[in-house]
């Protein structure tokens, strides 16, 4: 028996790990640095590492208590009810839950291009089709309500990535509010804030809860992750915050025990260590600014933990940098040829990335 026809589905192209690239280059992993997947170069909070170690002895039990405790901690962090917090296996898992809850056959989702590939992949698992709005490179990937509303055609979910991957641009809350107000009542606007900790503005949670001068809305949800600022990409932990009207759906759509015991315990420790996140954000902003000032090519302004650089032949640049031990992302896979994305690293990593890129650009001239 064969699987059903999956020709419409594409495989997710995850960035390659240091070990794999080192093996290919015949070098030691310690000689390489990887600034390709927007991970936290400082790692997780030390408290999270201890929590994972301590949790090892309790993994024979299902993660019920830790799951409830983390849900409560996240709800407390945002001052929302526990039921509005949908824990998941990474932000990716939360994307699946939202699609599973919202989409019926032949519904469509509206996503940014260039953009994060998993929205489209996930919607296809749930028999939804993908439509796109363009963020224009010539306009510095500016995000406005007009751009989205012009492309909108009754789509069931509108995805806003703010800060946007891979450009780092953001959308103002007033613009998001306009999109929610001017789309159909059956349309959910989901604001993906995977990189929210690194941005200046407030969270779109204000739109759900009716804070900071906004009216409360029942058609906006927010996505967050522990993979970036919290340094826990490997444990796979993320969540959606949904409006009250959606709260009860979670129990009907989630995979039983949506986040593992280890992930929940790590998340609980991490959310408590505010200092670690503050330090991460501070060093990230320094690295981001340094790259903008010192790279010999156009670097877009970014509110994420990465910068997008216009390099011309991105594939050649990415390969040459990798040869020199610096792994970065060629943005062709985002539908954005000619650009590379570099994650903000430690001071040493950032220095090395800039030096290597500038040398490669000079060589290729
Ligand atoms: N949204 C965006 C915009 C992302 O870039 C990513 C990860 N690269 C995710 C969501 C999902 O991240 P995770 O599943 O690790 O939480």
| pLDDT value of position 287 | 98
> Ligand 1 mean position to 192 CA, how many Å?
8
Select from 97, 109, 118 the residue to mutate for testing ligand 1; criterion: most ligand atoms less than 8 Å from CB: 118
What structural domains and CATH numbers belong to the chain?
18-44+275-364 (3.90.1150.10), 46-272 (3.40.640.10)
Q: Is the ipTM of this complex over 0.85?
A: yes
- State the Cα–Cα distance between residues 3 and 16, nearest whole angstrom: 27
- pLDDT in the model for residue 49: 97
Residues of the chain with pLDDT under 50: none
Per-residue pLDDT reduced to its tens digit, 102-147: 999 999 999 999 999 999 999 988 888 999 999 999 999 999 999 9
Residue 34 backbone dihedrals phi, psi, to 5 degrees: -120, 115
Distance (Å) from CA 340 to ligand 1 centroid: 18
Give the model's pLDDT for residue 239: 98
pLDDT in tens, 264-308: 999 999 999 999 999 999 999 999 999 999 999 999 999 999 999
pTM score, two decimals?
A: 0.97
**3-state SS class at 188:** strand
E strand or H helix at 131, and its extent?
A: strand 129-134
* Count of other CB atoms within 10 angstroms of residue 320: 18
């Amino acid at each position: 028996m064969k699987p059903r026809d999956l020709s419409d589905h594409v495989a997710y192209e995850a960035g390659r790990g240091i070990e794999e690239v080192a093996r290919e280059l015949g070098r030691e992993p310690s000689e390489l640095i990887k600034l390709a997947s927007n991970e936290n170069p400082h790692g997780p909070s030390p408290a999270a590492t201890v929590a994972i170690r301590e949790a090892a002895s309790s993994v024979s039990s299902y993660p019920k208590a830790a799951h409830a405790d983390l849900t409560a901690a996240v709800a407390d962090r945002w001052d929302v009810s526990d039921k509005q917090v949908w824990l998941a296996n990474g932000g990716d898992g939360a994307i699946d839950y939202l699609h599973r809850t919202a989409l019926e056959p032949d519904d469509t989702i509206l996503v940014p291009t260039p953009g994060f590939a998993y929205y489209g992949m996930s919607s296809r698992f749930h028999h939804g089709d993908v439509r796109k709005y363009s963020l224009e490179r010539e306009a510095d990937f500016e995000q406005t309500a007009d751009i989205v509303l012009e492309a909108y055609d009754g789509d069931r979910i509108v995805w806003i990535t703010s800060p946007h991957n891979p450009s780092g641009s953001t959308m103002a809350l007033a613009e998001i509010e306009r999109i929610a107000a001017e789309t159909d009542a059956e349309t959910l606007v989901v604001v993906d804030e995977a990189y929210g900790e690194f941005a200046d503005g407030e969270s779109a949670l204000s739109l759900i809860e009716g804070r900071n001068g906004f009216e409360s809305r029942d058609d906006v949800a927010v996505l967050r992750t522990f993979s970036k600022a919290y340094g826990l990409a490997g444990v796979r932990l993320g969540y959606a915050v949904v409006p009250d009207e959606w709260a009860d759906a979670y129990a009907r759509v989630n995979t039983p025990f949506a986040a593992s015991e280890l992930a929940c315990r790590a998340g609980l420790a991490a959310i408590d260590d505010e200092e670690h996140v503050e330090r991460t954000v501070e060093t990230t902003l320094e690295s981001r600014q340094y790259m903008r000032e010192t790279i010999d090519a156009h670097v877009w302004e970014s509110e994420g933990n990465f910068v997008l650089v216009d390099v011309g032949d991105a594939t050649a640049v990415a390969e040459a940098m990798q040869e020199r031990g610096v792994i970065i992302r060629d943005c062709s896979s985002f539908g954005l040829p000619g650009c590379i994305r570099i994650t903000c690293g430690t001071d040493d990593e950032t220095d090395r990335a800039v030096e290597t890129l500038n040398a490669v650009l000079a060589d290729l001239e």
